[in-house]
Structure 1
Amino acid sequence: MSSKESGETLKPWCPFCGMDVGRPTEAAQRKMTEFPVGRCDCGAIYVCDATGHNIGAAMVECLVYACNDEWDLAWELMPEDDYLTGRVEDYDDVTHQVVPKRNLDGRAVRGVLYFVRLHKEVAEIAERFREKQEALARQEGAAAKTVTPPAPEPRRDPKRRKMRASKQQVRELAAKEEIDVLVDLCLDDGRTLRFLQRLLYDPVEASRYHTAWIMGQVAARVSAREPGQVADLLHRLFEACADSAATPWGMIEAIGSIVAARPDIFGAFTRHLLGFMGDRSTQEAVIWSLGEIAAVRPDLIRKTPFYSTFHFLGHDSPTMRGLMARLLGRIKAKEAAFQVMGLQGDQTPITIYEQGRPVETTVGEQATRAVELINSD
């Protein structure tokens, strides 16, 4: 009698090669709908849906992972013709076992490991896409400001007395830009980031931008120790932005600040910002956020259909025109050079926020700076 027939627990295996597979782990880059991911020695990619209720999303994400995050390529592929799929059911993500009885120590087991293996020709195409994107990132990143990821936060003494956060305390620390204390507070009390998020609900624009910048600085360091806490914050911010019954004050700006501070971890969130360009009330925040990310990782913007925003260079809002010029300059958009040059004579004054503080400038100044970047080596 086999182990499966006897109801004994089993080590998870790859349905393609039969080899045991390791425990899926969180991806290096966090995404909107993330599942732990793994790779078999035979080249198959697999993700874990711990509940068994999100298999559709897991299937899509697994295929995109296999395509090295090239969404356009993933959508063009056909099952069987371009890739094979497989699944291992009754998977328990807690113990990394397959439990045929679907119950372990009184706990229901309903997890699924979903596998995708690209055919050789398609895998080679996906690899070429990856190499091309890495080369583009190196080329564009050389001309942009580089961000050195913060060193891992030192482990706190587990015997120390942990701090507890309060709304008033977080408000005061943010106003004083006490980043070190806020980071300690986040690592001690998971409510800290929620309290920071609440500070975004402020009718004063300058206060919202300042809070967004503070959140980016804090999140950058917290994510070096607990990236999941920051990923949860990003999910909440996106959900708040999508709520049609609420005004997303500062939410998109906070997302942009966080991604710009740690694009190595959260860069995959960039493409989702464009989903808010359809609402006039959030367009300015989206372009500002994309500009923040473009300053450090222009390749992340180029991975999105950013060209759909070119027409905003003629927007009736001068701030939007200036922000568009700023964005296109930072990604060296040679394809829009003539349109940007057309704004150099626009002396309309605008305010753009940099590092949480207002900077007085003009549309023409932003356009001139953009042209210089586009024409630089």
Structure 2
Amino acid sequence: MAKQHSVVRPWCPFCGQTVGKPSHAPERKMNEFPVGRCLCGAVYTCDATGHNVGSAIVETLVYACNDNADLAWELLPDDDYLTGRIENYDEDLNQVVAKKNLDGRSVRGILYFIRLHTEIQDIATRIKDKRVEALQEALPSLKAEMSLVIEPAPEKGHVPRKSNKRLVKQLVEENDIDQLVGLCLDDKKTLRLMQRLLYDPDDSKRWHTAYMIGKVCQRVSTRDPGSVSDLLQRLFEACSDSAATPWGMVESIGYIISLRSDIFGAFARYLYNYIGDNSTRNQVLWGLTEIAGNRSDIIRKTPFYNLFHYLQHPEAQVRGQVVRLLGRIKATEAAVQLMELTDDKEEFLYCVDGTLVSSTVAEVAVIAIQTINEGQKNEQ
């Protein structure tokens, strides 16, 4: 087919039907590729450069398994799924160019296809259905997220404002979320300028700035989720940079994900990458707790069992944060260990709506146990 015509529409290698242009999935993830789905059940991703085929294969397989990475790693090619690929794909025009060159522009894109065997598709569907049942508990917060009002488009004749460091700092200090949201939609560098404000030696100011970033991103994402997704990736990169100080980065990530977990919930598991560092452990635990407050099911799908040993950590700050987290996800598995902390009178700090508050490990342990017990009663 490709040999007879120099430029053709892409097709599914399994059924031969023409496929549409891949697009980003509604739920954003790290290192994502545009994805698509054929009517025959096959799914595909696009690697526009042709140099990241390995990553594209992994993402295609996970996408085929309804974003269940654990199931994807258990599958074997041919035994559990079929693969196919279309080369010389031009993402801009959604065409396959046999000559690998279009109007002087090199075309090297690849569409990678995977189609699960019927029985594996059934398993993936059943697992997804069980996850849907688990989401029933999170319905109140989900409905609140769905009720978010989409930011209005600029009026006709609106002149976009230019952002600058002084203006952004002033608006953050004044808690003027409305003006910041409008400024972000006018000038994309506003979020970068807000990120720079995180480099402040004052803990309380950093937490406040992180909160403001979260609240602004919550509204900006209704109109321009891509810019917020880009900010999240920059924040993660800053956390991974050994030559930089990740002041306020993890805190901002926690607020952004918790306030728009419907879009950015998939980013939550990457916070575990920074829990081993003393400088970010407290913030990671707080971020996971904040996310669990809105979507405990997201944290339940992460390796939270690895956090149990922190209940015996020598620092009250760490113990307190873990207790709050386990309470919010109603971790009955840790109920006995939580009981042992009801006499722990050491104090620790955590952030609520951008303000640091104090409590004792014992106080949050009692609350956590009550939450777990209430959850057990509701299940009976």
TM-score bracket, normalised by the shorter chain, equals over 0.9
Question: Deviations along 1:275-304, whole A, 9 cap, x unmatched?
Answer: 112212211111000000000000100111
CA distance in 2, matches of 1:278, 1:61: 27
Alignment partner, residue 219 of structure 2? 221
CA contact (8 A) 1:52 1:110 kept: yes
Query: How far apart are residue 93 of structure 1 and its match?
Result: 1.1
* Matched residue SS, 2:294: coil
Q: Report Cα offsets for 1:59-88 as digits up to 9, x if no partner.
A: 101101111111111111111111111111
Residue 320 of structure 1 is matched in structure 2 by 318
1:174-195 CA distances to partner (integer Å, 9 max, x unpaired)? 1111111111111111101101
Match of 1:31 among 11, 29, 32: 29
| Secondary structure of 1:295's aligned partner | helix
Q: AA paired with 2:202?
A: V
Matches within 5 A, 1:1-377: 4-139=2-137, 141=138, 147-149=144-146, 150-376=148-374, 377=378
Unaligned ranges ≥5, structure 1: none
Alpha-carbon distance between aligned partners in 2 of 1:127 and 1:285, rounded to the nearest angstrom? 35
TM-score (norm. length: structure 2): 0.95
**How far is 1:143 from its partner?**
7.8
Question: What residue identity is the alignment partner of 2:67?
Answer: D
Asked if the contact 1:7–1:101 (Cα under 8 Å) also holds between the matched residues in 2, the reply is no
**Aligned-pair CA distance for 1:222:** 0.9
C-alpha spacing 1:228/1:143, structure 2 compared with 1 (3 Å): closer
Q: Kindly provide the CA deviation profile for residues 124-180 of structure 1, in whole angstroms up to 9, marking residues without a partner as x.
A: 1111111111111213x2587964242211111253110010011111111111111
C-alpha change, 1:275 and 1:60, in structure 2 (3 Å) is: same
Distance in 1 (CA, whole Å) between partners of 2:73 and 2:209 is: 38
What SS does the aligned partner of 1:337 have? helix
- Root mean square deviation, CA, Å: 1.4
CA distance in 1, matches of 2:106, 2:23: 21
Which runs of 5 or more structure 2 residues have no equivalent in the other structure?
none
CA contact (8 A) 2:317 2:349 kept: yes
Length-normalised TM-score, structure 1: 0.96
Pairs aligned (count): 374
Segments ≥4 residues shifted beyond 3 Å: 142-147
Instruction: Give 3-state SS (helix, strand or coil) of 2:28's partner.
Output: coil
C-alpha contact 1:144 1:330 (8 A) present in aligned 2: no
Map Cα deviations across residues 210-241 of structure 1 (whole Å, 9 max, x no partner).
11111111111111111111111111111110
CA pair 375-200 structure 1, distance change in 2 beyond 3 A: same
Name the SS of the counterpart of 1:326 in structure 2. Answer: helix
